[in-house]
Each structure stands twice: as C-alpha cells, then as structure tokens.
Structure 1
Amino acid sequence: MTLQTNKRIVWLGIAWCLTSILIGLGAGKLTKDLGYQALHREVSDRLLASIHRVRGALNAYHYLPFLLTQNEDVVQLLLTDQDQVDDKQATKVSRYLEQTSLVAGASGLFIVDDSGHTVAYSNWRDQQALHPDEFAKLPVFQFAAQGEEGRFYDNQPNQQAFYYLSAPIYDRSDFIGAAIVRIDLQNLILDTPVDELYAISDDRSQIFIASPQEWLKQSIEDIAKVQSISLSNGAHVTLWSFNQQHYMSHQVRLDDLGWTFTSLVSARLDERYADLVAAITMAGLWIFGIILLFLRERHLKHLSQQETREALLLANESLEHKVEERTQALRNAQQELVQTSKMAALGRMSTAIVHELNQPLTAMRTYIAISKQLLSEPDMVRENLTILDDLTERMAIITSQLKTFAYKKPEQVQPVQLSTALNQSTTLLRARLLEENITLNCDELDDQHYVLGDNVRLEQVLVNLISNACDALSEQADKRIQITSQLRENRKIELRVDDNGPGLNDAQLEHLFEPFYTTKPMGSGLGLGLAIVAAIIRDLNGTIEASHSPLGGARFCILLPSAENAS
C-alpha cells in the first residue's frame, strides 16, 4: 500500500511540474504579447514625432527661395547680359547669398539664369564647388522654369544626400532665372533624443537620415533581419533583429516626399519581463505544489498522531493516575522545601536580631547598676537615663524590622525611598557586616530616588541580595559591597548591588533565578532565595538581571518604575 502511494505521489509530482511549465510558458507568451502591443503603440507615437520633426525642419527653409527672389541685386544681376556682368556685382550677390546661408543654416544658395546656368552662389569662396550647369537638367530648375515651386531629392551613390527647394524669379511677367536652396539631409535633424532609433530611406531602400549615423548609405536589408508577427489584438507588427536584440519597428511612406520613415524601440526589457513572469509562474506553481504536498503529509501525520494518542489514552489511564499522584507528591515536597527555606531565613534573621539586641541590653544593665550607685547625684543619673532612652529607641527600631518583615503583600504600591529601605535592611545585617569586616559603600545611592512598590518587600529583596553578597565574600581578604542607583531614560530607577567576590560563570548566570538552583555547597542553602527575589520584583512590575561586576565579583541590577510625584 505504501509503495503504491509513493508511486502515485511521484506521478502526480511529474504531472504537476509539466503543467507548471506549460502554464508558465503560456503566461510568458501572454506577457510578451501585451508588451509587444504596448511597444507598438509607443513606436507609432515615436514615428509620428519623427515625421513631425522632419517636416518642421524642411518647412523652416520654405521661405528662403522666395526671400532670394525679392532681392533687387539678384534681379539686377539676372537682367544684366552675362557677357557684360561686372565681377563686383556677382561677388556682391554671392556675399549676400553667403550671409543668408549662414543665418538660415542651408548647405548652399544658388542663383541661376533662365538657361539653368549658375551666376551666383553662397559657396563662392570654394572655387571647386562651382558647377555652372549642374541645375540645368534637374527637376528643381525645371519646376521653377514652369513657374512652380520646386522640390527635389538627390541621393547619388557615394555622395551626400541633398534636398533642393526652388522658386522662379520674374521681371514683371518674364522668367529670368531661379533661386535654389540646397539642404544637407544628414544635418537636417539635430535635436533627436539620444536613445531614439529611426531611419529615413528612399524608394531604393537607401538610408540617408538615421540615428545611429553608421546606418547612413546602407539599405535596411544590410542592417537587420526583418520578420512580421501577428498580435492577439489583430495588429501585424514588424521586428528588426540586430545586435542580438529584437526591436519593434513601424514604417510609413510619405508620398509627397517619396521617403519611408522607420522608428524602432528595443523589445529587450519587455522580453526579459515576459521571461521573468514565466519563471516566477513556474516557480510559484512548484512551490504551491510543494506546500500542498507538505500540508497533505502533515494532515496524514496528524491523523496518525491522533490515532496513536487515542490508543495510548486507552492503554495508559492507570499510568497517568500514578503520574498525577507522583506529581502531587512532588508539589507537596516542594512546598515543604519552600517553607523550610523560609524558616531557615527566619532563623538566620533571628540570630542577627538577638546578637543586635544583646549589646544594648548589656549596656542597659550596666547603666542601671551605675544609676543605683549615683542616686545622690541627679545630674549623673539624668545623663545615664538619656543613654538608656537611646538604647531602648535602638531596640525599638530593631524589633520594628522584625514586625514589618512579617507583613503581607499590600494590594497597592506606593512611593518608597530607596535610601530608607536600604537603611532599614542594613540595620538587620549590621552585626554581620561588622563581625565579618565587610565594607558597605552606599555613597552613590541617590536620596531623591523613589520607586513604586512597598517597603516591606523591597527590604526583603535588599536583605537577600546583601546576605548573598556577604556569603560570596567569605573567602576574600578585602570584602566590599557597593550599592548605587541611577535614573534611566525610560523613567525607571536602576538599583545595582556589586561585590568583589569570586563572581559567577556563564552557566551559573543562566540558571541563577531558577528554584532550587544554588551556587553554595551542599547543606548551605536550598536555592529559593533568588527565585523569591525575582518573584517579588516581577510583582512590583520590575526586572532583575545578574552579570559580571566591574569590582570583579557579581552584579545584580534591578529596574523598578520611578515614582515621579513622590516627595
């Protein structure tokens, strides 16, 4: 059954891959077709713009032949018999033509007589450029001789392509000559965008205006391989292939000029985008198939797991009952351990209190005995009573700590001054600090720092942390504990407790706040102190972290909300 299922999955996978390939190729073909349609519209717009530029450039010269016909010096030169023409008169007209050509940007301006013989021209300084009878048989002169406006295109092999305009010159109603303008077609359009490809060819398919310039004097067949394709919208378009790329082309022939305009737009980006769409479609379908296969396998796995769980549920009811009983026993044991830890802490605290109370009691007995001997000296008795009052006040402070230590957790937090909480905590530990010669530095604890909490639980935290620091300093010669506070940017008070003990390694830092984890020797602690401290800090909406101290030992850093409105 499993083998048949695997074969079925393999065949389904092969079919899915083939289907994905076909769909991807179809998506790519459709995308390419839509891209070609957009390119066809773009190349049509470029073709119209190209035609507009060429016609505008040619129309800029239409006035020029008629301008020349109105010049009196030109008319006078044509009315003078050519055998009697003065060189100064011809030179004067030629200079006028030269200046006019420079202003208009024409390639050449010519004045011919009624027989087509050139009598003045703008390029008169170049003696080799003069061909006196070159216009006699050209249509541009023949049109003028018939009284019409002449236009003529000339593109001889291995020569520049020129366009000519002409206008007849009359003396009253008699034709006496013609004004001819020659335009260099290669320099006709100078403001074409750099990235635009176009070509203008004649009826012999010879290109005489083009971008790029290397297409000039070539035929379209020599430049590219041309193919026609049909699009889904019914349009028939032409693609040019050269430089290993496809270009969308569009052509139109202007009958009045006899020129064929061709514009081209590169299809590379559209073809690449179509290939990308095809690849993404195939990849997406493959990924979708893999996801479906994964979901199917996970569903089957869940069904199998559910069947297994149901079987185990029926077979292990008695075992689960035993586990529950064992778990409850462990919970009870844990509660007993917690209670034992509390009692041990209370015992250590009671020992410190007894030691602290013993000193004032001894002093009180001494002063009372002295006072009995000095009943006859009231001043001395009064002084001893003052000292006894101070001692009883000190004992009251010590017992008040024991009383507040037993308070329950308050329902609401209130502003607590850190320095006050620390002073009350160190009172309980003063005897140990003195006995073990431990220096407690609190100079950098700001008296203006108030936190939101309750005094009793904060004192419990401080007593625990300072006691742990004292335990860590048992083997040190120079024993130092430093307590500092700082206001952080997030409106929280940071309280740091540092010692110069042996410190904590990374493994200890990772498990330090876990219940029953302790770094002390066996029998010295149950590992609940720091767990209780962490629980208290969480109840006060704060955090506690342990790290390496700059003093060389351990650092405990507590963040508690600041009581901004406390006074």
Structure 2
Amino acid sequence: MALLFFIVNKLAYQVLIIEKHNEGQDRLLDYVIELRNELKNYQILPYALADNPTLLAFMQDPNEQTVKQQMQRQLEDLTHVSKTQDWFILSAKGEEMLSSEQSLNFELEDYFNLADLSDTLKEYQGEYLLISGYSPTAFQSAHLALAPVYSQTGKLSGAIAVKINVSDLIERWNLLDDLVVMTDQNDLVFVANKLNRVITSDWLNNPKAIQFLDHTSAKTYRLNDQHYLLQDVLLDDLKWQIHYLSSLNNIQKTAHNIAWVSLGLFALIFVFWLYRRERSLKIASKLENQHLIANSVLQQRVLIENTHVGLLLLTNQGHISFVNPMGKRYFGEPHPLISHNLMTFLPERAENQTARRFLNALSSGDIHNNEDLLEQEVILQKHNGDTFPALLSVSPLQWDHSLGYLVTLLNISKRKKAELSLLEANARLEDRVLERTQALQVAQKELLRTEKLAAIGQMSTAIAHELNQPLTGIRTLTYTAELLLKRQDSEQALKVVSDLESLVVRMQKLTSELKVFAYRRPEQLTPTSINQCFQNALHHLGDETHGLTHQLHSHGNDLVLAEPSRLEQIFSNLISNSIQACAEANITPAIDISLSSDDRYIEMQFKDNGPGIEKDKLAHIFEPFFTTKPIGKGLGLGMAISANLAKDMNGKLQASYNDATELVFRLRLLKA
C-alpha cells in the first residue's frame, strides 16, 4: 500500500506540475502582452517635447529663470494631461536639470547611477529608450521613457524622461497567488509583486533544474521555505526578463490528496474484488460440493449395486430395510427380504449362536450405540432351504437423528471348500514329508557309515603304511639280534636292540598322535600365557630345537582363554613343521611371533624363514593325512590336529601369505 501511495503521489505530482508549467507559459504570454500594452502609451510621450523651442532654449541656457519657469509650467501641464508620474529634463551627463516635481521624496540619484545613465544616453542616442531603476532603501523601482534632445548643431544636449506609472499593472498582478519578478538589462529587479522586501540581487543564483516525465526541463526555486516553479521570458527589444514563480505547495497537497483518494479507491476496488472473489469462490465451492455430493451419491450407488459383498440395512429393531443386488443373489432373487428380521435367515446351529445373541439383544434394545459384530462366521439359509457359510458383520449407522445398522455378508463357500482341500493337501504333504524324512534319515545314517568306513579305510591305509616300515625293521633286527646272540656277539646285539628301541619309540609317537582325535573338548578354559606355552613347547621338543632362533613380540597382556596342554601342542606342531621344512632346505630355522589384539580376541602371527608351501596346496593344509613330506616322514595329522585344538578352545587357526609372500599362521583366541 505504501508503494502504491508513493507511485500515485509521484505520478499525480508530475501531471500537476506539467499542467502548472503549461499554465505558466500561458500566464507569461499574458504578462508580456499586458506589459507591452502598458508601455505602448508611453512610447511617443517624450518626443512630444523633444523639438519644443522652450526646451531648446532651456538646454542652451539652463540658468535663464524666465525660460526655466516656462519649461517648469509646461512639464507640470504635460504630467497632468498625460497622467504620468513625473517629467525630467536630463543633461548629457545624466544629471537632473529640471522636473515637474510631481513625485514627492523622489530623487533620481536614489534609483539611477548618473555615470551609467550618461553612458546609456550616449550609447543609445537618437533612439527611444526605456530604462528601470531600483532604490534599495525605498524598496521601490522607477521606470523612465527617454527621448534624446539635440542642439542646433546636432550634438546631444540631453534627454527628456517620463516616469512611467506601472502601479496599475503591479496592482493587477498582486491580485494573483503567484509571484512575478521583472529584471532589466542589468538583471536589476524593478518589479516584484509581494516580494519587494525579500528579493536580493543574487536571488537567481541557486535554482534547481528538474525534468518532467514528458522530458520537459524546468527550474524550481526555494524562497522563504516555499517551493516555486520558475519560468522566464526575455523581451528582446527592452532586454527585460519576466520571471514567473508558481507556488508548488498546493500541487504537493493536491498530489497527496489524489494519492489518498486513489488509495481509497484502490482499497474500495480491492475490497469489492475480494468480495466478488469470495462470493465467486463460495458459489464455485457450493457448486463443486453439489457436484461432488452428486458424484459421491452416484459412486455410492454404483459401488453398492456392483460390489461383490452383500449389503443390508437394518432398523434399530433388526428388520431389513434395504438389500443390494449381491445380497438378493445370496438369498435367491424371488425371496422377499424387506421388513423381515435377519434372525429368520439364521437357523439354530452352533455356528450361529453368537450372531443370534447379538440380534436378540438388538431387537430388545440391549445393544449400545457403539457395539458391533465383526466377521462372524455363520450359516445362512436361502429361500429354498439350502444353507451357505458366510462372514457376517454388523456396524451401527447414525443418520437423520435415527439409528440403524449396516450388515455386510460375504459368501465363503469357495473359501471353505478351499480350506478343506488345503487341510487334505496338508495331511498328504505331512505324510509325504514324514516318509521323505525317514528315508533321508536312513540315507544319512548310511552316508555317515560310508564316510566313517572311508575315513577308517584311509586312516588304516596310512597307519598300515606307517607301521609296516618299523615292523619290517623290527622283524629284521630281531632276526639279526638272534643270530648275534647265537654267535655271542653281545656288543653288536646291544646296538641292534638300541635300533629296535628307536623303532618302537617311533611307533609309540604315531599312536600318541592318533589318540588326539579321541580327546574330549575341554570343560573349562582358563587364562593362559601365550609366552609361557611357547617356552614350554620349546622345552618339550628338546634337542630338536638345537640351532633354532626365535622372537616373540608381546605388547602387554598375552593371556588368552585356553587349555595350556592343547596350546602347547599347537606350538609344538608349528615349531616342528618349521624346523623340518628348514632342515629339508638346508636353512638355519628362525621363528618370529607377533601378537595383536582387539576388544575380544588376541591374534598370534607365526612365521618362519622356511620355503613355505605351494599356493594351490594351501587350501588342503588343515585336512587330515595331507602332507608334503616323503613317505614315512609323517601321517599329515599335525596341522589337522592343531586346527581342531584351536576350534575346541573357541578359536581359529588359519594360514595365508602376507604382502611379503611369507607363509603366516594366524591363531586367534579369546582374550582372558
């Protein structure tokens, strides 16, 4: 609203000031016409006396009293006849020689500079001249019409001056509200209506240039805290300027009033538009609501008539008041339903007990408004006595200050048949599943038996191979010892007995490894030191670790939940494998063990300087009886036993290559 007020005020102000400017142009033209008509009467007056013999005689001898008195009387007569203010005879130097003395307290020197007046007479000699003067002490202007006076020799002797009376013109201009200022050729103010005492010599130094919307240029002037529109016109022949100052205060007020009126009109139009819009919206909303209601009624009718659910309306006494087509189809088309109680179609059967109790309570008025019956399976009876299963729901409805009930019926005959078929199929499926389960159990037992036999066969073959060699040696050495004893070579016999003992120890070690598979899982794991178990494993290996260098990097806690003997067995198997692999490659064995941990586990990384294993065989390293050693050097049970031991302690043993292509065993156990 403020922006609209500003725009309207600005436009109104521009329109009014342009109109004011045009009026000023017309007013200036009127002023020029009035001024010229006023001065036209004084144009020939001085020449009426210019060739007067008495004047010429006076100009030759100004001190001759007789001539001076005659000239004085003539000037007084001319003043009265011409209705002018005063007549003057001026010398060539601009000095006053004689006057009609009709203007009291008027001194020519107060209004005109004699030197400037003399120069003007010489410059414009022989021409009609109109000059103006201004007295700053009297705050008045004076206007003289001059005609030159020449001697008999043709030399300029002086001039006849008539003081022009422009008071009538000023009085007419004073009747106007606007201001008029007139300046002569020297920019001297000689007419200024209403401003005689406030106009200064530099009053036109600071006008402000403005431009209108029609690209017209103008000037404004500020005087006594009042704003004026300044317009000028130059009189070329007189070198006078008329300055017209139009007051802008009323324009500003008028622009404000127009803006307020426009704002009020806009507000009225806007309010009227809002009223019309609101009324149109209400009418449109009403029409739309009527249309929606009509569509809703139509949709409800179509929905009710085409739904595949039976719909019935009951009175508060349980009597049927409406049935949709599907409901009629359920009960049979010719069967009358309207005004019948729904209880009529519910035979006394166990399935209908709940529904019958509800309808009985409904008929007796014992049902509260918010009670309903939802999805009750019932048996309904048709007009011909046939029955069919259905889902019955009864919900209260409130309309027109009366209470009714909506009944929905869904024939579930097909669903019941499907349920029976499904039960039969489930029974058949359960029988088949039982048969298949029994068959699978038999097959599983047979498979386990086969796998056990295969494992036993594989194990037996390996054990037989491993035991046959020392048994063969024992048999040979026994025969040799018997021969040596017969020869009574006891020294050699003792050597043979020592070899027999080493073969027996070898067989004992083999059987001890086999017994590990029969170990039970530990019943309770205890905090166990990794470093201590590693040192114990080195000690149990005895001379086998001769020449071995090892490092164990432990940072703080190295306690894990384990069984010490099992953890020592894992270390023994890893160390023995490293020593044997390095011995086959003629490398001095070196073992490096580092520990790392997280919130739950401690992980041990075990690596050596051995040759490692081919990457395609790495996946089988923990399989029982897998070995890369020559026949007779081992059963291939060490890594399988170690993996099982780690698993028994809720841990895990893995093998992989690191970034430096070194084979690393990682044992991960729970932190203690």
TM-score with structure 1 length normalisation? Answer: 0.43
Q: Which of the pair has the greater relative contact order for Cα pairs under 8 Å at 6+ separation? A: 1
* TM-score, normalization by structure 2: 0.37
Higher Rg = 2
